[in-house]
């Protein structure tokens, strides 16, 4: 039997609408994909904690009707870790901007990956600090203009997939807002995974990034994103020359062997208590 259509408003605090995002902001596509993925899981929304830091992206939990926490800039993963350790049976989801996740929150990002705690981190990568006026971030492409790189960025950008993999995340996927269905699938994969999952969503901030890089129109910026991405299955049939400058999308890494952090902690507590009892 076909699944019933998603009742998006059931998962939202309608009284908080209209939202604060710019018209055409890609975060709307991502939030829709996240809600649809949660609906696919069939979870009770009371069993979900949706956590964020600070930024445009981080306003998302405010519109969601579930357990939500709007924390401090860069620290969402630390609060989320506390929730998961205290209530390991609950589902903990974090949404972050690229600055929140990889600049001020970069340290927490790598250590959450290393620990392999069962949290799903979704990074809305718009290549810039959107909320504070368009300062460059660790994912601003080389050569791109930002408020703080008016002559072009000379820092190389982080590859979030490689960073997450290298630090130990056990499910890593990348999608883009030109394909919401794919994002839904990747988020669902992360929610299904028992361990730390990272889903990067390439998205448009035409207001802060696009405006400075000849893409002030959301469609133009989404077309730019589309022109840069290639699915990892399609990439297999392409030559290195054709792949030059392309960003791969898809499920990029999975590992179901490594132990999950809360499980390890529970075993440790059990072991220590058994020793004390003797």
Ligand X SMILES: Cc1ncc(C[n+]2csc(CCOP(=O)(O)OP(=O)(O)O)c2C)c(N)n1
Cβ 1 to ligand X shortest distance, Å = 38
Residues from 167 through 206 that contact ligand X (CB under 6 A): 205
Please identify, among the stretches 6-14, 37-45, 87-95, 128-136, the one whose residues bind ligand X according to the rule CB under 6 A.
Answer: 128-136
Out of 36, 54, 122, 161, the residue judged to bind ligand X by CB under 6 A: 54
Question: Residue from 68, 78, 87, 132 that binds ligand X (CB under 6 A)?
Answer: 132
| Strand, helix or coil for residue 177 | coil
Q: 128, 102 in Cβ contact below 8 A?
A: no
- Binds ligand X by CB under 6 A, chosen from 71, 137, 204, 213: 137
Per CB under 6 A, which region of 3-11, 96-104, 157-165, 177-185 contacts ligand X? Answer: 96-104
Angle at which helix 261-277 crosses helix 76-86, to 10 degrees, equals: 40
**For residue 131, what are the CA distances in angstroms to 99, 135, 193, 262?**
10, 9, 31, 34
Residue 57 or 184: the one with the smaller Cβ distance to ligand X is 57
* Strand duo 171-176 + 247-254: pairing: antiparallel
In the bound complex, what is the minimum distance in angstroms from residue 138's beta carbon to ligand X? 9
CB of 147 to ligand X, least distance (A): 11
Q: Which stretch binds ligand X (CB under 6 A): 48-56, 76-84, 167-175, 191-199?
A: 48-56
- Residue 270: strand, helix, or coil: helix
Helices within the chain (DSSP H only): 27-41, 76-86, 98-102, 106-115, 160-167, 180-192, 218-228, 232-235, 240-243, 261-277
The binder of ligand X chosen from 61, 130, 138, 250 (CB under 6 A)? 130
Strands 91-97 and 247-254, by their bridges, are: unpaired
For helices 27-41 and 180-192, give the axis angle rounded to 10 degrees. 50
- Which one of 53-61, 113-121, 167-175, 237-245 is the stretch in contact with ligand X (CB under 6 A)? 53-61
Size of the site for ligand X (CB under 6 A): 19
Determine if 100 is a binding residue for ligand X (CB under 6 A). Answer: yes
Q: Whole-angstrom Cα distance, residue 121 to residue 101?
A: 9
Separation CA 121–CA 230 (nearest Å): 22
Under the binding rule (CB under 6 A), the answer on residue 21 touching ligand X is no
Return the residue of 120, 126, 149, 170 that touches ligand X, per CB under 6 A: 126
Q: Which parts of this chain interact with ligand X (CB under 6 A)? A: 54-57, 73, 97-100, 104, 124, 126, 128-132, 137, 205
């Amino acid at each position: 039997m076909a699944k019933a259509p998603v009742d998006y408003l059931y998962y939202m605090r309608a009284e908080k609408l209209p939202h604060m995002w710019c018209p055409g902001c890609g975060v709307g596509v991502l939030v829709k994909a996240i809600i649809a993925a949660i609906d696919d899981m069939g979870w009770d929304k009371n069993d979900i904690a949706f956590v964020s830091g600070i930024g445009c992206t981080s306003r998302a939990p405010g519109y969601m009707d579930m357990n939500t926490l709007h924390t401090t800039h860069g620290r969402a993963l630390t609060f989320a870790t506390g929730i998961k350790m205290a209530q390991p049976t609950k589902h903990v989801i974090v949404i972050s901007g690229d600055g929140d996740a990889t600049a001020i929150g970069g340290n927490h990002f790598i250590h959450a990956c290393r620990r392999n705690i069962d949290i799903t981190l979704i990074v809305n990568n718009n290549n810039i600090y959107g909320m504070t006026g368009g300062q460059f971030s660790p994912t601003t492409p080389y050569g791109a203009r930002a408020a703080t790189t008016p002559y072009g960025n000379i820092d190389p950008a982080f590859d979030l997939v490689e960073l997450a993999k290298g630090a130990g995340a056990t499910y890593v996927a990348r999608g883009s807002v030109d394909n919401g269905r794919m994002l839904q699938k990747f988020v669902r994969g992360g929610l299904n995974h028992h361990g730390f999952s990272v889903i990067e969503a390439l998205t448009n901030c035409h207001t802060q990034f696009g405006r400075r890089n000849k893409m002030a129109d959301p469609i133009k910026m989404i077309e730019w994103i589309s022109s840069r991405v290639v699915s990892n299955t399609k990439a297999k049939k392409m030559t290195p020359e054709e792949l030059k400058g392309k960003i791969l999308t898809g499920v990029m890494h999975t590992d179901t062997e490594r132990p999950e952090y809360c499980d390890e902690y529970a075993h440790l507590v059990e072991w220590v208590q058994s020793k004390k009892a003797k």
